[in-house]
Amino acid sequence: MLYVIIGIVFIFLFVRALEFRSLYVPYKDVSVSPSQIGLAFEDVILVAPDGPRLSCWYVPGVQERIVYFLHGNGGNISHRLEKIRFFHDLGYPVFILDYRGYGKSTGLPSEKGLYTDARAGYDYLTKIRRFRPESIVLYGESLGAAVAVELASRLPTGPLILDGPFTSVTEMSKRIYPFLPSFLLASKYDAVNKMAAVKGPVMFIHSRNDEIVPFEMGQVLYDGYGGKKIFVATAGGHNEHFAIHQERLKDDVKRFLSEDWSPTGSAWPQGQGQARGPF
């Protein structure tokens, strides 16, 4: 019996350790900033309700809306300069934060922690910067897409842009580590079931050649969402496709964010959506 218990404990600890290493790949070194690409910015430090200090950048723009950038599981905010410039070139101010444990932010990442951090950023934008909730455009990249969905499922926001989103950690685990008992996973990031609570229009961007998050997961999220939506299919790797097609994507994002999404507006009708691509 003792050996059985030891074996169970070992499996449990192994699964949790593998989960953490797979989900969170933070880099601590922040050696560049928006000033290196000619953008004015402000360093912002937020304190999450449970204690971690969060390192953020605010890049001003001329549009009334702001892009709230929730990055993926690897690197830190300094690895997103080109995407920051992408949205800035469209005129949008950008706010990006490093989750706990990433870059200069303190603490250790977890699903609950990332949700808490995203809420702290939202509160900063609405209470300190005085952006109206509906003027906050959530851009979620990979893992950040799941964080964006969680935030939008609980709080009012503007449009969502989900780049390379997955359905859930459970489904990702089944594909990457089919031998692992998924019921032992601590994290869920269950975007597929939270989409029903999202109210705003959603743009899905996914590469047909995505080698990390299957293209089909983006399609599942798109097909299951009953609100106003558009799907843009690209080509290229999970981490490269956006840069490869950024000029074409500028046109799509510009159109998406300039549409009249009100009930009487002329944008794509409720529940039908439009699809573009492949490029």
Q: Tell me the C-alpha distance between 108 and 99, whole Å.
A: 9
Per the document, the length of the chain is 279
Range of the domain at 268: 2-276
pLDDT, residue 173, reads 84
Bin 271: left if φ > 0, else alpha if -120 < ψ < 50, else beta: left
Return the structure tokens found at 186.
Answer: 């601590």
Q: What is the dihedral of CA 223, 227, 232, 236, to 10 degrees?
A: -60
pLDDT, residue 178, reads 74
Number of domains in the chain: 1
14: domain CATH number? Answer: 3.40.50.1820
Helix (H, G, I), strand (E, B) or coil at 156: coil
265-278: burial string, b at 16+ Cβ within 10 Å, e else: eebbeeeebeebbe
Q: Tell me the C-alpha distance between 52 and 26, whole Å.
A: 15
Rounded to 10 deg, the angle between the 111-123 and 143-154 helix axes is: 60
pLDDT, residue 233, reads 97
Taking all residues of the chain, what is their mean pLDDT, rounded to a whole number? 89
Tell me the pLDDT tens digit for each residue of 57-112.
Answer: 999 999 999 999 999 999 999 999 999 999 999 999 999 999 999 999 999 999 99
pTM value surpassing 0.75: yes
* C-beta neighbour count of 110 within 10 angstroms: 17
Tell me the pLDDT tens digit for each residue of 111-165.
Answer: 999 999 999 999 999 999 999 999 999 999 999 999 999 999 999 999 999 999 9
